[in-house]
Amino acid sequence: MTYQSINPNDGTLQKSFEHMGNAQLDVALATAERCFQTWKHTGYAERAAVLKKAAALLHAHVDDFARLETLEMGKRIAEARGEVKFSGDILAYYAEHAESFLAPTQLHPATGAAHMESSPMGLLFCVEPWNFPYYQLARVAGPQLMAGNVLVVKHAGCVPQCAMAFEKLLLDAGAPVGAYTNLLISYDQSDRVIDDPRVRGVALTGSVAAGRSVAARAGQNLKRSTMELGGSDAFIVLDDADLDKTMPWAVWGRMYNAGQTCCAAKRFIVLDAVADAFLARFKTALDALKPGDPMDEQTTLGPLSTEAALLQLLGQVDAAVKGGARVLLGGQRIARPGWFMQPTILTDIAPGNPAYRDEFFGPVASFYRVKTEDDAIALANDSDFGLAGSVWTQDEARGRRLASRVDTGMMFVNNIDWTDATLPFGGIKHSGYGRELGRMGIQEFVNKKLVRSGAIAAPG
């Protein structure tokens, strides 16, 4: 059974769901394609009315959506509420700005007139992860529905109720049947969807392995794709950093969502001058986190999403230690029901250690001490990933200079605030390609058509 709701706080099974059959899947694809033939001709105002209503429903029922998320994937309730609100903000943002983002662009050829116009591509297949079960959906649904596309979505197997709730949200908001369809399908059926000629584009957020598989399948079918994959973001602390301001972001950056965030701070690269002070304070702060029921407002450390996720992380820590790393803090499963892991700090990680290359998707921080700015940049760039990163310094101009030297899709100076619908999100290298959110996010799956006019004489 692939689709199961299991409470990460205590391991109890809540509900199970069967896969769709192939005949049911074909009906869903046919319905989506028929919907597209109408939806693409609707005006921006009509599309926006649906998205605005969906945003209003999210904002009006924050607690209901958040509670379901906490029970299904273990996110602490305050964090879940924040995700629900942000998801509504994304939908409202595209409802307001999509028309201007996709307005024709005038060009200026030497003779005649020309412009670029945008039109929807059609039926899109989206494969989304469990760690942000509403936000991940909102950031594809908002821009692409407003662009005139329609979506069929395979959500993660451990959050089926969140997936169903989001589909119902859009239907309740007035979206026509077929505009957004949740698919309870297998990985083999996903290949079937990608191969279907009615599907015109593929978007995935997930692991590098999933990205390789889905991108290859899309490529074989000559279909446009976007990939938002993993990250191993550097948190670079310079010698003039204000640790009083830096430390709260260090803790949040590693421990938000129990560390299960692609753009989380994962590699802490600290200059010698402040390394001892930073490490001592960081260790004390992480050690003070208290595990508990994520529905309890007082809990500061929630569970991981699944038993498999916990076991994988514990295996990575064991491999790191066998490779010569030292566990400064934690490293073990917490002896209580549910899927809890101790906040963990690894040090003494040499380049040959698997921990040097791996992404730790959970409450595990890797600590590196460096001598110079150049050493920090070299270490930050010595990664297969390139999603995001941050620089911490009291000299903002210095921070921006260093940020420009780090090979990533996103960099932050004295913050890690990526929660803004206006800002494009995405990476390079093994972190994927393409962008979501902002003005760029709505451009990924639209046809940019050149139209040139004018009575131009044919060449003689």
Looking at the annotation, which residues are catalytic? Answer: 228, 262
Instruction: Annotate the chain with three-state secondary structure.
Output: CCEEEECCCCCCEEEEECCCCHHHHHHHHHHHHHHHHHHCCCCHHHHHHHHHHHHHHHHHCHHHHHHHHHHHHCCCHHHHHHHHHHHHHHHHHHHHHHHHHCCCEEECCCCCEEEEEEEECCEEEEECCCCCCCHHHHHHHHHHHHCCCEEEEECCCCCHHHHHHHHHHHHHCCCCCCCEEECCCCHHHHHHHHHCCCEEEEEEECCHHHHHHHHHHHHHCCCEEEEECCCCEEEEECCCCCHHHHHHHHHHHHHHHHHCCCCCEEEEEEEHHHHHHHHHHHHHHHHCCCECCCCCCCCCECCCCCHHHHHHHHHHHHHHHHCCCEEEECCCECCCCCCCECCEEEECCCCCCHHHHCCCCCCEEEEEEECCHHHHHHHHHCCCEECCEEEECCCHHHHHHHHHHCCCCCCEECCCCCCCCCCCECCEECCEECCECHHHHCCCCEEEEEEEECCCCCCC
